[in-house]
Structure 1
């Protein structure tokens, strides 16, 4: 059962389309795992582990999203001026 869960989590991380989505998913997974362990050890109950996983997952997703740099490309417009755009 544990191997199935690990495989599903790995597939969720790999299934993201952009680097921002990949880092957000990876941050959420790492945060949820860490939060579940800390919550479970701190309270000794399954409810603490669930709460820790929820809080850690949200925090990890926020951090993973915030630490991803935006991709900016530089090109020329129709008048030859340099322009920057998201790519």
Structure 2
């Protein structure tokens, strides 16, 4: 399996559950965890799971902290 289908699947999964929470802190934590997991998965394909987890976790935490909760 090539990297593109795996990357697409990881991005779809992350977008589906991205930054769950009501407060900025909750969204930062959930976004960081989701980003770290996705980053580790994608990074492992290139042999750098740790670096991928750090980058993904940082990006996910920032993204979760600066977004507003969904209003119904």
TM bracket (short chain): 0.5 to 0.7
Partner of 2:54: 54
Partner of 1:37: 41
Partner of 2:17: none
Q: Distance in 1 between matches of 2:39 and 2:68?
A: 22
Partner of 1:20: 24
Which stretches of structure 1, 4 residues or more, deviate above 2 A after TM superposition?
Answer: none
Gaps of 5+ in 1: 1-17, 70-87
CA shift, 1:21, in A, is 0.5
Q: Distance in 1 between matches of 2:38 and 2:56?
A: 7
Higher share in helix: 2
Task: Provide the TM-score with structure 2 as the length reference.
Answer: 0.62
Task: Provide the TM-score with structure 1 as the length reference.
Answer: 0.52
CA shift, 1:68, in A, is 2.5
Higher share in strand: 1
Could you say what the CA RMSD is over the residues aligned between the two structures, in angstroms?
A: 1.4
- Which is bigger in relative contact order (C-alpha 8 A, separation at least 6)? 2
